[in-house]
């Protein structure tokens, strides 16, 4: 019982145990929802791939939004400091970020279509090994 209190008092060990428990809970939650939607193993793997790819694309879109906010503030600070070229470069960056964000939005549908197509593909020919 004394060892339990030792790891509870250590902040590094406590953080590792709690993060491992959180990651395990999230994995089980995602896997169970994937099985519930698909019904079979192939459908579950397809749904799990969709969930993970959608999460990665959403993370990329969030990073783009953060990039937009930091570049806009940087351009305003440069304009206040007397460097108007900073605002011009900010508008060019803003255009690139918006184009990339629109691409991220459409990437979700494209990725889900590709995953659905690959999951529905059934080979009609046997595998021939040399």
Span 15-73, pLDDT tens digits: 778 778 877 877 776 666 655 555 676 777 777 788 888 888 888 877 777 777 777 67
- Report domain extents, the chain: 1-38, 39-121
Angle at 78 between CA 77 and CA 79, to 5 degrees: 90
Q: Which residues contact 17 (CB under 8 A, 6 or more apart)?
A: 7
> Is the pTM value of this prediction over 0.85?
no
* Terminal CA-CA length for the chain: 61
Spatial distance between the Cα atoms of 82 and 117, rounded to a whole number of angstroms: 54
Q: Inform me whether the pLDDT recorded for 122 exceeds 60.
A: yes
């Amino acid at each position: 019982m004394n060892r339990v209190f030792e790891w509870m008092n250590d902040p590094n060990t406590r953080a590792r145990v709690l993060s491992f428990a959180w990651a395990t809970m999230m994995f089980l939650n995602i896997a169970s929802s994937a099985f519930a939607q698909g019904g079979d193993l192939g459908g579950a793997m397809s749904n799990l791939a969709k969930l993970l790819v959608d999460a990665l694309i959403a993370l990329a879109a969030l990073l783009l939004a953060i990039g937009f906010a930091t570049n806009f503030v940087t351009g305003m600070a440069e304009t206040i400091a007397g460097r108007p070229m900073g605002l011009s470069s900010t508008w060019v960056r803003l255009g690139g970020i918006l184009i990339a964000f629109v691409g991220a939005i459409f990437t979700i549908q494209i990725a889900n279509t590709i995953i659905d197509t690959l999951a529905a593909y059934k080979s009609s020919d046997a595998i021939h090994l040399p």
